[in-house]
Amino acid sequence: MKVKILSKDQIASLGLTMSEIMAALEEGWCLRATEKVELPAKIGVHPRTDCYIHAMPCFVPKLDMALIKWAAGYPPNLKKGLAYINGLIVVNNPETGLTEFIMDSAWVTAWRTGAAAGVCACYMGGETAEVAAIIGTGVQGITTGIAFGEAAPKLKKMKIYDLLPSQMDRFTKTVGRYLPDMEFVNCQSVEDCVKDADLISTCVPIVEKPNRFLTKGLIKPDALVIASDYDSAVSEEIMLSGPFVCDDRNQYLETQSWGTYFQNGYPREKDLYADMAEMCAGLKPKVKGAVRGAVLMGIAVHDVMTVKLILEKLKTVDIGQYVEI
């Protein structure tokens, strides 16, 4: 059996744009709400403290496409000079079950997660933001910043905070290439970063025993807060202050049932306003005004939608290597 292997750099060379990925993710959420997308909640193992390896399968009938992502998150890797998020995506032929593609998952994960935050901002009132704040300026923060630039056409200023100054410098240099007219402000504290922000994103490492340092008293009374780091940074009072949205209702509640994440006051099922599939499909109205909170855990249907774009590009570009397995 021949399988095509794609590296992270090869995927990046295809030139997919943030707007393309955001549109694909919005379609994926609509399919999730209106059609029979097979999307079980991710399962995982936790070999070390604060470390996880998750299995994320999905089948999208409309695309006739099935894949699984085996994704690891290891915060200690940052001190070792290794990637925090890493893993592989395996694409199977839905007719035969045979593996057709194996690809690095880092680029896909980073860009589709940032894109998800951008789409979420469009549906939760963030599209009118003039000031954005991003806490955690690693790879995930970078793609979120790019997505916010797409989602919020009135955005003039992007304030950033990270424990590592070098991360902030890289953020400004990288995101600035996509948003050349944006004003970037390096902040010395979380408080300074978020105090006047209309749109806030947290992208710090996911941990099992979080210190939720972003509290309601630090933010504007009409701020939108999007957490792409589970419950590691944003206090439960923010998430309970107004409409609370997650990317996928089933996955959020299943993960909460583990007893590890989304504990100590975090929204329960009765507190959910909607998930993003319901909002994208028009089953629940958009929201704005007052504090709004969202948790985006990452869902495999978004991996499918992004990989679909990659496979379309591969029809016209000869990259990757076939191996016999």
CA distances, 112 to each of 180, 204, 206 (Å): 22, 17, 18
CA atoms within 13 A on the CB side of 106: 16
Q: Which residue has the tokens 């916010």?
A: 148
Which one, of 19, 89, 76, 13, lies nearest residue 50 by Cα? 76
* Average pLDDT over all residues of the chain: 97
Taken as a whole, the chain contains a residue count of: 325
The predicted structure's pLDDT at residue 78: 86
The predicted structure's pLDDT at residue 3: 98
Tokens of 146: 């790019």
Q: 165 with 159: CB under 8 angstroms?
A: no
The predicted structure's pLDDT at residue 289: 87
Over the stretch 183-240, which tens digit does the pLDDT of each residue have?
A: 999 999 999 999 999 999 999 999 999 999 999 999 999 999 999 999 999 999 999 9
One digit per residue, pLDDT tens: the chain, 325 residues? 899 999 999 999 999 999 999 999 999 999 999 988 999 999 999 999 999 999 999 999 999 999 999 999 999 998 898 999 999 999 999 999 999 999 999 999 999 999 999 999 999 999 999 999 999 999 999 999 999 999 999 999 999 999 999 999 999 999 999 999 999 999 999 999 999 999 999 999 999 999 999 999 999 999 999 999 999 999 999 999 999 999 999 999 999 999 999 999 999 999 999 999 999 999 999 998 899 999 999 999 999 999 999 999 999 999 999 999 8
The predicted structure's pLDDT at residue 134: 98
The predicted structure's pLDDT at residue 36: 87
- In DSSP terms, 272 is beta-bridged to 244
Separation between Cα atoms, residue 128 and residue 153, nearest integer Å: 7
Give the rounded percent of residues in the chain with a pLDDT score beyond 70.
100
Three-state DSSP class for 52? strand
b/e sequence 5-44, b meaning 16+ C-beta within 10 Å: ebebebbeebebebebbbbbbbbbbbbbbeeebebebbeb
Which one, of 81, 75, 103, 80, lies nearest residue 230 by Cα? 75
Q: 47 with 53: CB under 8 angstroms?
A: yes
Element (H, E) at 5: strand 2-6
Between 139-151 and 106-123, two packed helices, what is the crossing angle to 10 degrees?
40
Q: 101 with 90: CB under 8 angstroms?
A: yes
Separation between Cα atoms, residue 153 and residue 93, nearest integer Å: 40
The total of other beta-carbon atoms located within 10 Å of residue 211's CB is 9
